[in-house]
Structure 1
Amino acid sequence: MCRLQELILEAEDRGETLAAGTVVVADSLNRSTGRFDRRWHAPAGGAWLAIVWPDILLPEFTRLLPFAVGLAGCRTLNSYRLDARLKWVNDILLGPHKIGGILCQTFLSSRGERFHLLGIGINVNNMVFPAELDQASVSLAGALGSPVDLEEFIARFLAELTLALGLLHHDEAQYMHSLQDEVEKRPGILLDTWKHLCDSVGKQVEFGYDVQKKPLYRARVTGYDHSGGLVMELPDGRRTVEVSGEIRYL
């Protein structure tokens, strides 16, 4: 993420704008953090990428950028004949184990231009994890029993991401047409595809904005709304919808 920010500012110094879709690939990351400043274990052998995307989507579609990145990561893993699944909203799972995560940030440049930085980390050939992550993590090589070509994996991911971002922009265009034609607005193709790969429905969960440190309540996931919000049923039967935060499976 920091390198992308530097590239944006360097381009501005030249009187230019960094091209949409610029990708930074790291061999490894030191002192990196994910959501809520948690340590992000990112040694050599994994796929650690960040992509810059311009701020050109409507707000209700901008918030689906992490869904596009997660969908691309999940579909890439499944191209190796696995059954990876998504956990709302930022994790990629293989069985009960985490194999990847997404981190999306907004960056405001020195001349006031807004960019979205799309980060993803996937355990590909890295098979050794810190003690605190060992039981909860898995890698692609570990699941397959042998290493894979990392460059090919990244190429597959970028192809899937291109498709996912294309679907997101297509869905926005369809949404705009529905406003003009006054027809019923429906979830787009991207979100429908994402829902089919997300396994959170039916799970008993803890919800919070940093659920590891401060869980707020327990509930059962019953579905997703038209914007990707998580629909849950509380123990007293009341329904609640969350559009940010995170969950932990119980």
Structure 2
Amino acid sequence: MQETRRRVLEGLADGPVSGPDLADRLEVSRAAVWKHVEALREAGFAVESRDDGYVLAGVPEFGGAAVEFGLDAPFEVEFHDSIGSTNDRARALAGEGAADVVVLADEQTGARGRLDRAWSSPSGGVWLSIVCRPDLPPAQVPVYTLAAAVATTEAVREVGVDAGIKWPNDVLVGDDEKKLVGILTEMEGEADRVSWVVVGIGLNANVDADEVPETATTIGEQVGDVDRADLTRRILERFDELRADPESVLPAWRDLATTLGRRVRVETPGGEVVGEAVDVEFPGTLVVATDDGEKRVSAGDCEHLRPA
């Protein structure tokens, strides 16, 4: 959101406030205030004109402006009612030099997950991709994936969903481990430095259960519909905190993990690793105790095995 418009909105939230008073406070013209008020109305904000001034009577249910209103993190939000893939759009923005931009959509029509798997993204979800430019070597980028999993899991737990993380980044619910969130991280860089990272988060929020695969679930199915704008703000704010302090990510991840202490099978490019998951090391390496000793897995498809 444009900075002056943000300040106008903040002034309206403290209203009632007259146009002249707001113009003086912001050191802009009265005409500029009026234009910003009209733009906010077009964005879905209910701004009433009363005898004692403007009053903010309501905010839009969802969208870029709704998420940015009250967001305590340095992100600009680009919203789409429908888009093929937020990750595709975020990669394009990254290629143009963008940073700290969130591509957010109500619906995706061509989304994909890890290993290029299709990802159902109907209207009512929270589908977003964050463009970052971290000062990291490529080998440390997985910590951003874990940070996104932590931020999202904490946010959905706050609204009442008892979710946990399966290594490295699947957010699952219940004994039958139905998938609630998928995370896909992409990057571009050189051998010693990252140019950009795109962290994609797909969250089945206010989505009907019959619109997702049988192996998945939704917040709506678990606890009923939630305020998606507030939920998105919580995710972005927590992710911003975690990326600023990478060393804090792993302890938070361990607290939410359902993989540690479980017997697992991990399909890796070098073959299958089976054993007990005993730890995760920076920047996200899974430590598995096998019959042949501990093995460390940096990437792979993890399966939780049932007790014999």
Q: Which residue of 1 aligns with 2:299?
A: 244
Answer yes or no: is 1:91 the counterpart of 2:170.
Answer: yes
Give the structure 2 partner of residue 3 of structure 1.
Answer: 89
Q: Give the structure 2 partner of residue 101 of structure 1.
A: 182
Correspondence for 1:194 among 248, 253, 272: 253
Letter in 1 for 2:255: H
Once structures 1 and 2 are overlaid, which stretch shifts more, 74-83 or 85-94?
Answer: 74-83
Question: Could you tell me which amino acid in structure 1 is paired with residue 159 of structure 2?
Answer: Y
**Does structure 2 conserve the Cα–Cα contact (< 8 Å) formed by 1:167 and 1:189?**
yes
Q: Which residue of 1 aligns with 2:131?
A: 52
Instruction: Tell me what 2:275 maps to.
Output: 219
Give the CA deviation at 1:215.
Answer: 7.2
Question: What 5-or-longer segments of structure 1 have no aligned partner?
Answer: 12-16, 169-187
| Aligned residue type for 1:193 | A
Q: Which of the pair has the greater relative contact order for Cα pairs under 8 Å at 6+ separation?
A: 1
Structure 1 residue 127, shift from structure 2 partner: 2.1
Q: Answer whether contact 1:5 1:107 (CA < 8 A) is retained.
A: no
Per-residue CA shift, 1:64-116, capped at 9, x if unaligned? 110111111011111113321111102011222111011000146xxx98211
Larger radius of gyration: 2
Alignment partner of 1:216: what SS?
A: strand
Contact 2:260/2:277 (CA < 8 Å) preserved in 1?
Answer: yes
Identity %: 26
TM-score normalised according to structure 1 size: 0.78
Give the TM-score normalised by structure 2: 0.64
Match of 1:244, SS state, is: coil
Corresponding position of 2:104: 25
Is the 2:122–2:211 Cα contact (8 Å) retained in structure 1? no
| Residue pair 2:107, 2:125 contacting (<8 A) in 1 also | yes
The structural deviation recorded for 1:130 is 5.8
Shift of 1:237: 4.4
1:117 equivalent in alignment to 2:173: no
Q: Which runs of 5+ in 2 are unaligned?
A: 1-86
In 1: Cα distance, 2:210 partner to 2:136 partner: 37
User: CA–CA distance in 1 between the matches of 2:238 and 2:134?
Assistant: 20
Q: In structure 2, do the counterparts of structure 1 residues 228 and 113 end up closer, same or farther at CA, with 3 Å as the change threshold?
A: closer
The structure-2 alpha-carbon separation of the partners of 1:149 and 1:195, relative to structure 1 and needing over 3 Å to count, comes to: same
Tell whether 2:289 aligns with 1:233. Answer: yes
SS at match of 1:25: strand
Match of 1:157 in 2: 235
Equivalent AA in structure 2 for residue 243 of structure 1: S
CA distance in 2, matches of 1:21, 1:70: 18
Q: Distance in 2 between matches of 1:91 and 1:246?
A: 10
- When the two chains are superposed, the root-mean-square deviation of aligned CA atoms in Å is 2.4
